[in-house]
Structure 1
Amino acid sequence: MRFIHMADVHLGAVPDSGCPWSAFRENEIWETFVRVIDQIREEKIELLLIAGDLFHRQPLPSQIERVSQLFASIPDTEVVWMAGSHDYLREDSAYRKAKWTKNVHGFLSGKPEVIELEKLHTKVYGCSYEQPQITEPVYSTIRPDDQPGIHILLAYGGDETHIPMKKEDGAGFTYVALGYRHLPGVLVENQMAYAGSPEPIRLEDAGTHGVVYGEITEDAQGAYHTQITLVPSACRSYIPLSLRIHSGTTQTGLEQKVQDAIQQKGSGEIYWLRIQGYRNPELEFQLEPLKAYGNVVRITDETRPCYDLTRLKREKLGTPVGAYIHWFEKKQGKVEQKALDYGLQALLTETMDPDQVIAERMNDWEERKKTLEKQRQDRSTELEQTVQRVVRERAGLEQQMLVNRSEIRRLELNRNAQEKHLEQERREEGKRQAEESRRPQSGQEQENEPTVVEKRVQNVAASSERKSNLTDFSKISKISEIITWVGVCLAILALIDPFSWNRVVCTIVGLAILVGALAGRKYLADWLRTRRSTVMQAAAPKEAEMSERESAGEELQKDWEERLKERKKELRETSHQILRLQERGAHLAVELEEKKIQIENLQEEIREMASPTLEEEDCDMELSGLKLAFTVLTEEETVRHAGREKT
């Protein structure tokens, strides 16, 4: 099984705040993380382990959503994460509310638990931080079970305030993936290692940064063996750059050295310049111009004036200079070295009093410190203004949320009223139709319009009546025709006289029967036409009336159906409006949560900014040396006595 172990990603961090390149660093940390995910997808890595501090502070919902989408892009890779001291699990942590895909598994408790990955035959043991610091040795209580398979411990910490840990805590595990230290390191070869941060975020994070690529194999006896390798991934590196100078080095020469060194190492890296060696005592290097040659985050001047202390002490024996050197002979601290150098420069200055020289230097460094403090205070003020802006934005979102809820409530009441009104109309229409269906029919004009059912019954009855009348006429016509033909036949028989009756009488009778049959047929035909016309004329008004009633009923039914359709449309539109407002409310709730976390993170950053910067600490070191020099020059009896003797 192949895996990647990463830790201390610190998404959302903005390293080197206040420097020109700090705006790019936040994006570079995200880019490095995305690049690792792309590598996992391309190489089909089976397991990704994240050992804490995926985020620099409490994660925002939008950041969680972005990471969730990245994890979803590697569905064939099992992802196991834990929260560290920076992104620890609070009750309202966005970690707890995230909707992870099925390949993502997290430790959502501060108590040790086991995540079983069946398809990898692997169990991952661990827990998350629920507060920034944990002093109990939690990992000493976690032991792998006796079941066959791969057993991995996902752990974060290693010092007194972040779960103390010993190498023995990893005994029995196939691999122990560690987080907390930003520099990669191996505690037990191929078995227990810190991945370090994929991208350095502090000046102290010098060196190679990346992720641990590992592979676990099984031998013929069923034992598992792990091989790990650190794969570099960082966009930039922090490089401590030491420059040696000598007494002949000038300001121009120093600048050229810095430019050449940065070009050789790479202009994209971030540097801590350390100027070392012995300089001309009469020369003070200007450090600010050196920052123009690259990404220089810090400059420390560790040079010393090139005094020959042994010669000076011998030549200045019995003078304040000799006494001053003698006082510092056995004092080797950094402050004492600074004080020795500043005091000698002051004593060897012939144009000014040493105390005045020291006082002026102290004023210069105090001004420098005040400038740095003001810059830090300005950044803190900017953050406070940002907090106020976010607070105002959050208040606006809360107001929008209240308006949104009020509008939802109004629409829900409106929808309920519409539903009740529609139900009432349905009952009234059903009641009306039921009453009309029960009303007795008569020849008189009804006060109310007939219902649709009644109209259909009437139509059927009228049609049946018309058909019955027409059928009677057809029967009479057929009987008339039969009688006519019977008469004709009798007339023919009478004329041919088959029985030898009286010829004249038979002829007269036959002709009479024939004439009577024909005349009767003509009369009956005229009567049928007249009667048919009378019947049709009598039925026409009724048909017109029934057609009119049917049309009116259809109009009434159509009007009801249109009103019903309109009511349903209004209900659907109201429901859609409520759904849109509910979606808007959910979006506002996420924004509110994000603003809340932003405010807390900014306040935490403001608290951190209360601590002095490294440059301020350098100023304090210089001031401490100057104060000690001033104290020795003005208060030490041996030095003052030597000065009085010289006078």
Structure 2
Amino acid sequence: MRFIHAADLHLGMIPDAQHPWGRERANALFHSAEKIVDLVLQENVDALFLMGQIFHLPPLQKDLEYLHKLFQKIPFCHVFLFCKKTEENYFLRSFSFSENVHVFTEEQSRFYLPEPEMEILAMQEKDFSFSSAESFSLEHGDAIPILLWNERRAEEFLSLEKAQNSEHATAAKESPLASLPFSYIALGGESKRSVFANGKAAFPGSPEPLSAENTGEHGVYLGSIHPITKRLESLSFFPISTLQYVTLHLQLDPSVGQEALKQGLLKKIEERGKQNIYKIRFSGKRDPETKVDPSLFPKELRIVECLDETLPQYDFYALYKEHQQDILGFFIRSYLKKDLEDLSPMEKQSLFYGVSALLEGGKS
């Protein structure tokens, strides 16, 4: 039995809405749904598990018709998704999908599929009772047991496993999910992509990054379960995102001039791809004439954050001689009662920032 596990499409969301590329990012989320359906066709899978939030906001009729048209392209594949019983989900609860689409509305549901033969325990409870999953037993002996758990609290078990298997732990312990009687555990929620519980439980993350915190590749999991042994034979990540959020760190020194800094930044971005969206951090010491400001970035670049942690490398003694009778000189003298090397890191930072502010203020 072959399947695709995707989650948290957040259709209708506008990532980076305040930036010029916001609408493009919103369209990319819808395009990710189309890519998933294309992958179903390409791989000829039996099941598509859509976990987490499919829509960012409660969907309208037109949103569901869009999804319906996509699912009609894959009548051979059984699609599973969740919908909570709330008034705001009225359209989703009442929508008539094709017979290959199965929508779970109860907090806990049990579902049998004769071809391919699967028995599914679907849960979206806030107060997850582990006993419900532990006591699960097949009513059809030849079926493949699958757990679909659509609740953020599942992340607690991932955190627990990481803590238990950290280098500080006295002995690595098995994840609580690993002992559950299922061939595969499909999870959804706001989480980074991860596989745990001895490889049989996974968070796919969203197929497209939703914010600057969602770095790295994004996509879906493609898996296969043996119909006789009911063991997970393979689980591989398939990237489908159009771009990534990338964090760049540039370490400066006083020898780097303004033009060299600009060209170095552009080179790094070209290496990683201009289509990506960047968070950039500058650190180190720089020539006071070298500025970290928006002029470094051509308008076509996508920058969501620029953090300047650099310190200008001033000649404080020369500045003091030049400004002995004004506030800048008095400020420098208050620090130079000690040698520069004897100043604490906080004192050095205060000196650098104070001198920068006074020099900039004097220019205005």
Shorter-chain TM band = 0.7 to 0.9
Question: 1:319 and 1:245, CA in 2 relative to 1: closer, same or farther beyond 3 A?
Answer: closer
Separation in 2, partners of 1:308, 1:137: 63
Q: Give the alignment partner of residue 193 of structure 1, picking from 186, 190, 202.
A: 202
1:288-338 deviation digits (Å, cap 9, x = unpaired) = 5415251222211122234699xxxxxx9x94114687997275xxxx875
Q: 1:308 to 1:189 in 2, by over 3 A?
A: farther
Residue 321 of structure 1: aligned partner: 335
1:214 matched to which residue of 2? 223
Letter in 1 for 2:46: E
8 Å CA contact 1:275–1:301 kept in 2: the answer is yes
1:267–1:345 Cα change, 3 Å: closer
TM-score, normalised by the number of residues in structure 1:
0.47
Determine the C-alpha separation between the residues in 2 that align with 1:232 and 1:212.
9
Q: Deviations over 1:367-399 (max 9, x none)?
A: xxxxxxxxxxxxxxxxxxxxxxxxxxxxxxxxx
Aligned to 1:76: 76
Which residue does the alignment assign to 1:305?
312
Q: Give the Cα separation in 2 of the matches to 1:150 and 1:337.
A: 65
- 1:336-375 paired onto structure 2 within 5 Å: 339-343=350-354, 345=356, 360=361
| Aligned-partner SS, 2:297 | helix
Is 2:114 the partner of 1:108?
no
Q: Which residue of 2 aligns with 1:379?
A: none
Q: Is the 8 A contact 2:245 2:279 kept in 1?
A: yes
Alpha-carbon spacing, 1:74–1:246, altered in 2? closer, same or farther (3 Å)? same
The DSSP-based 3-state class of the residue aligned with 1:145 is: coil
Residue 158 of structure 1 deviates from its aligned partner by 4.5
Q: Distance in 1 between matches of 2:130 and 2:85?
A: 18
Deviations 1:527-547 (A, max 9, x none): xxxxxxxxxxxxxxxxxxxxx
Cα displacement (A) at 1:218: 4.0
Using the TM superposition, give the Cα deviation of residue 279 of structure 1 relative to its aligned residue in structure 2, in angstroms.
0.8
Distance in 1 separating the partners of 2:67 and 2:312: 54
1:34 aligned partner: 34
Contact 1:5 1:212 in 2 (8 A): yes
Cα deviation, residue 175, structure 1: 0.6
Post-superposition shift, 1:152? 1.2
Residues 262 and 293 in structure 1, CA contact (< 8 A), matched pair in contact too: no
Structure 2 regions of 5+ residues with no counterpart? 161-174, 317-329
CA 2–306 in structure 1, closer or farther in 2 if over 3 Å, else same: same
Does the C-alpha gap of structure 1 residues 339 and 112 become closer, same or farther in structure 2, counting only changes over 3 Å? Answer: farther
1:280 aligns with 2:287: yes
Structure with greater helix percent: 1
Q: Distance in 1 between matches of 2:341 and 2:215?
A: 40
1:154 aligns with 2:169: no
| 2:93 is aligned with 1:96 | yes
1:140 and 1:304, CA in 2 relative to 1: closer, same or farther beyond 3 A?
farther
List aligned pairs for 1:155-194, cutoff 5 A: 155-159=149-153, 164-165=156-157, 167-170=175-178, 171-194=180-203
Is this contact kept in 2: 1:275–1:303, CA < 8 A? Answer: yes
Alignment of 1:36-55 (within 5 A): 36-55=36-55
- 1:142 is the counterpart of 2:133: yes
Aligned partners of 2:351 and 2:198: how far apart in 1? 48
2:213 aligned residue? 204
Letter in 1 for 2:203: Y
- Answer whether contact 1:8 1:182 (CA < 8 A) is retained: no
3-state DSSP of counterpart to 2:269: helix
Distance 1:254 1:36, change over 3 A: same
1:58 Cα deviation (Å)? 1.5
Aligned residue identity for 2:105? L
The 3-state SS of whatever aligns with 1:292 is coil
- C-alpha separation between the residues in 2 aligned to 1:13 and 1:24? 11
Q: Which amino acid aligns with 2:36?
A: V
After the TM superposition, which residues 219-258 of structure 1 pair with which residues of structure 2 at under 5 Å, given as runs? 219=228, 222-258=229-265
Contact 1:77 1:103 in 2 (8 A): yes
SS in 1 for 2:226: strand
Alignment coverage as a number of residue pairs:
328
**Does structure 2 retain, via aligned residues, the 8 Å contact 1:259–1:293?**
no
Q: Paired residue for 1:487?
A: none
2 CA distance for matches of 1:115 and 1:225?
20
Aligned match of 1:120: 116
The CA RMSD measured in Å over matched residues stands at 3.1
**In the TM superposition, what is the alpha-carbon distance from 1:246 to its structure 2 partner?**
1.5
Structure 1 residues 323, 124: closer, same or farther in 2, change over 3 A? farther
What SS does the aligned partner of 2:225 have? strand
Residues of 1 paired with 2:185 and 2:337: CA distance? 60
2:223–2:232 Cα contact (<8 Å) kept: no
The normalised TM-score by structure 2 is 0.80
Structure 1: gaps (5+ residues): 310-315, 365-647
Identity over aligned pairs, percent: 27
Distance 1:157 1:247 in 2: 51
Call closer, same or farther: CA 1:61–1:138 in 2, change over 3 Å.
Answer: farther
Q: What CA distance in whole angstroms lies between the structure 1 residues aligned with 2:352 and 2:85?
A: 52
1:465-544, aligned counterparts within 5 Å? none
Which residue pairs with 1:493 in the alignment? none
In 2, the alpha carbon distance for the partners of 1:57 and 1:203 equals: 20
Residue 266 (structure 1) aligns with:
273
Distance 1:139 1:82, change over 3 A: farther
Q: For residue 264 of structure 1, what is the amino acid of its counterpart?
A: E
Aligned partners of 2:342 and 2:249: how far apart in 1?
31
**Aligned AA (2:334):** P
As a proportion of its length, which structure holds more strand? 2
- Do the aligned residues in 2 keep the contact of 1:137 with 1:164 (CA within 8 Å)? no
C-alpha displacement at 1:146, in angstroms?
Answer: 4.0
Q: Larger Rg: 1 or 2?
A: 1
Aligned counterparts of 1:182 and 1:291: Cα–Cα separation in 2: 33
1:339 Cα deviation after fit: 3.5
Instruction: Please give the residue correspondences for 1:589-628 in structure 2 after superposition, counting only pairs within 5 Å.
Output: none
How far apart, in 2, do the equivalents of 1:254 and 1:140 lie?
59
Deviation per CA, 1:445-486: give whole Å up to 9, x if none: xxxxxxxxxxxxxxxxxxxxxxxxxxxxxxxxxxxxxxxxxx
Offset, 1:65: 1.3
